């Protein structure tokens, strides 16, 4: 068993134990807290740690581990508008690409999206839209694209009773960067559907669908299908969220993983 698999399984066990703990120091989160952590543009400071363990990568079907650190910072512009800064800092681990090679780990390309969202919402629709950027910050060539890319990102969601349903879509293309690296033209789409129970428990499905428009037609899409569950809770005054999901990549390019185990732990800090 590789180091990345052991770490992910240990993290999964720890989060499961935390969510099941019923000791006096733990307080139930309730559906309101659960819906808050499920909203990617909620007006609350949030720091999710999302670990994706991908299985079946490369010719030897090795595991690949990607820890996404995703701080979210809402900023009030005026009485009518907020801007929500959502950054993704990937920390990657790649298995050796050949028997004589060595594993590669480090920071990947950092993503930044800025969502302009109405401070007051009329009706049941919550939305945000704004620019998106990818910075060529990777520690190693195989961990990044070597290009500065820019584009647009949008998110919309609705809350209907125990249901929270929405989607996030980002489209970017390369602007400049290393001339010998392939140009970037890609889309990321993340639909999310959540059903909330009492005491902060919920069922969830939030697959990350990607399309590389520069690749041949049969190699453009990665489409996962899967689901999981989680719980929003408090430890003392600290609001937290933990979840576990699994996805089968029903369509994916050659050499990429065929299924993913996702473990997420999230801290919330009310402004």
pLDDT of residue 176: 96
Query: Which pLDDT tens digits describe the chain residue by residue (271 residues)?
Result: 555 555 455 555 544 444 444 443 335 566 688 998 999 998 899 999 999 999 988 777 788 999 999 999 999 999 999 999 999 999 999 877 655 567 889 999 999 999 999 988 766 899 999 999 999 999 999 899 999 999 999 999 999 999 999 999 999 999 999 999 999 999 999 999 999 999 999 999 999 999 999 998 889 999 999 999 999 999 988 999 999 999 999 999 988 888 999 999 999 987 6
Residue 55's beta-bridge partner residues? 259
pLDDT of residue 217: 82
Handedness of CA 245, 166, 68, 54 (dihedral sign): positive
Domains in the chain with CATH codes? 3-269 (2.40.160.40)
User: Rounded distance, CA 46 to CA 270, Å?
Assistant: 8
pTM: predicted TM-score of the whole model, two decimal places? 0.86
Which single residue is written with the structure tokens 């992910």? 8
Structure tokens at 14: 């720890």
Length of the chain: 271
Q: Is the Cβ–Cβ distance between 184 and 218 less than 8 Å?
A: no
Residue 23's beta-bridge partner residues? none
142-146-150 Cα angle (round to 5)? 130
User: Rounded distance, CA 258 to CA 54, Å?
Assistant: 7
């Amino acid at each position: 068993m590789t180091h990345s698999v052991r770490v992910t399984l240990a993290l999964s066990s720890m989060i499961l134990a935390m969510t099941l703990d019923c000791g006096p120091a733990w307080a139930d989160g309730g559906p309101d807290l659960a819906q808050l952590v499920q909203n990617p543009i909620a007006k609350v400071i949030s720091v999710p740690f999302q670990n994706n363990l991908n299985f079946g990568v490369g010719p030897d079907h090795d595991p690949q581990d990607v820890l996404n650190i995703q701080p979210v910072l809402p900023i009030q512009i005026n009485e009518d508008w907020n801007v929500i800064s959502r950054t993704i800092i990937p920390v990657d681990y790649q298995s050796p690409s050949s028997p004589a090679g060595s594993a590669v780990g480090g920071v990947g390309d950092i993503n930044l999206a800025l969502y302009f969202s109405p401070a007051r919402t009329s009706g049941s629709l919550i939305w945000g839209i704004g620019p998106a950027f990818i910075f060529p910050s990777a520690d190693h060539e195989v961990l990044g694209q070597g290009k500065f890319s820019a584009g647009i990102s949008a998110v919309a969601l609705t809350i209907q009773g125990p249901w929270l349903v929405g989607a996030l879509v980002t489209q970017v293309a390369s602007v400049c960067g290393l001339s010998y690296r392939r140009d970037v033209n890609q889309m990321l789409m993340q639909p999310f559907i959540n059903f909330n129970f009492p005491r902060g428990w919920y069922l969830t499905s939030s697959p990350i669908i990607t399309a590389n428009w520069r690749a041949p037609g049969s190699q453009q899409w990665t489409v996962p299908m899967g689901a999981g569950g989680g719980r929003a809770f408090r430890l003392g005054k600290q609001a937290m969220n933990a979840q576990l999901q699994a996805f089968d990549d029903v369509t994916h390019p050659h050499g990429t993983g065929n299924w993913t185990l996702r473990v997420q732990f999230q801290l919330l800090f009310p402004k």
